[in-house]
Amino acid sequence: MAPSPKSASASQSRPTVLAATRGLVRAADYLFSLPLPVPTNTEYAEIEIEPEASEGDIRWAIQEAERRLNLERKAVSEQLKAVYSRVPGLSEAYDRLESLRSQGDKADASDLKRARTELATMETKAQIIDARFQEKRHREQEIKNQTERLHRLALDKPEDRHAYDQQHPPLALFRLEDCTRDSFLSDPRTMMFLLRAEIAHFLEMRGETVFHPSDLTRDDFLSDFTYCELLDGPES
């Protein structure tokens, strides 16, 4: 008897469904075995620390980053001072031009042109003395900006850090819950369970009979043994 068209199509579609299901399972296994991508342009990366770091580690990282910047700023400033001392009026020329620029449209055009011309002449002399003069000036400004950003970081404050992690997924998934022994024992029920286990063990080691309300509080199950010839073999 030939199968009906309905049963034939059902039998043909069953392998397809099974194959598709296996494909989804394999895809899911592969997907969840991949590591989570960690963003590289975060405030954590700026202070060179992992997103799962503790509050104490973050405070240390911020202080360490600020210390490194201060050391670099001091070294760059000393090198720039050496150039300023050999080009009299250079530092004042920068201040004068910056003051005129801060006035915007109110600044006198001739004064602005004269300040730029004088500064260009002095910068040429500075470049002869130190070919990396402009590069060092830019780096000095970068260090200043980085230091200001460090002061604005709030990763060491739990509420601000939580808000930042939520706004930059998947950083919130890297947070580690406190699992220290003190935190574990903060639950009275856990503390009482461990205390009872220690007292029971102490009494049993001295031959005392200890009542166990459940199998969760004992580790000796020899009294529960029942001989079974099928499982244990013939008695000797």
Same domain, 152 and 223: no
pLDDT digits (tens, 9 = 90+) for 140-172: 999 999 999 998 988 888 889 889 988 988 888
User: In this structure, which amino acid lies at residue 76?
Assistant: V
Cα 144 to Cα 74, 114, 212: the distances in Å are 11, 29, 68
Residue whose C-alpha is closest to residue 49's, from 128, 156, 121:
156
Rounded to an integer, what distance in angstroms lies between the CA atom of residue 137 and that of residue 79?
10
* pLDDT score recorded for residue 176: 61
Domain boundary among 176, 208, 223: 176
* pLDDT score recorded for residue 125: 94
* pLDDT score recorded for residue 126: 95
- Intervals of the chain under pLDDT 50: 2, 6-15, 17-22, 24-25, 27-28
Same domain, 127 and 64: yes
Cα 86 to Cα 23, 42, 122, 152: the distances in Å are 74, 41, 10, 37
DSSP 83-121: HHHHSTTHHHHHHHHHHHHHTGGGS-HHHHHHHHHHHHH
* pLDDT score recorded for residue 213: 80
Tokens of 206: 């001295």
Same domain, 164 and 190: no
Same domain, 56 and 158: yes
* pLDDT score recorded for residue 9: 46
Token pair 């199968």: residue: 3
Rounded to an integer, what distance in angstroms lies between the CA atom of residue 136 and that of residue 123?
13
Rounded to an integer, what distance in angstroms lies between the CA atom of residue 123 and that of residue 121?
6
Domain boundary among 129, 149, 176: 176
CB 184 within 8 A of CB 190: yes
- The answer to the question of residue 81 being in a domain is yes
- The answer to the question of residue 32 being in a domain is no
* pLDDT score recorded for residue 197: 85
Residue whose C-alpha is closest to residue 46's, from 134, 189, 145, 172:
145
Q: Which domain holds residue 95?
A: 43-176
CB 164 within 8 A of CB 170: no
DSSP state of 41: S
- The answer to the question of residue 8 being in a domain is no
